[in-house]
Amino acid sequence: MKELISCISFFERFEADILAQRKTITLRDETESHFISGQELSVYTFESKRKFCNIHIENVTTVAFDALDQSHAQQENMTLTQLKELIQEIYPGIRELFLIEFRLVK
């Protein structure tokens, strides 16, 4: 039986924020809703597939796009306007997101 590899990728521009623990959540669509609390993931850059750390999943919940607020933006280390624009760029028209809370594994 082949072992499943538990990993997630982030755009390279988020690497420094993740490593500095300024980014502690990620918002994803249904295709990445399979992560579960307690899971440890290897983290790779989306562009070059380079591993740069491991994270521990603290919690996975759903959140409506319209319910995103300043606390979500702060956990993403950006403004609310930036967060909403980025989400619409990546997931045009999305109404429900999966909020993945994580912490850096040192």
**CA 23/CA 102 separation, integer angstroms:** 9
Handedness of CA 57, 61, 66, 68 (dihedral sign): negative
Q: Among 31, 76, 84, 96, which one carries the catalytic annotation?
A: 76
Q: Among 3, 12, 23, 49, which one carries the catalytic annotation?
A: 23
Q: How many residues would you count in the chain?
A: 106
Buried b (16+ CB within 10 A) or exposed e, 76-91: bbbeeeebbeebeeeb
Q: Among 12, 26, 45, 106, which one carries the catalytic annotation?
A: 26
Active site residue 31: no
Active site residue 76: yes
Q: What angle do CA 6, 105, 43 make, to 5 degrees?
A: 40
Enzyme catalytic residues: 23, 26, 76
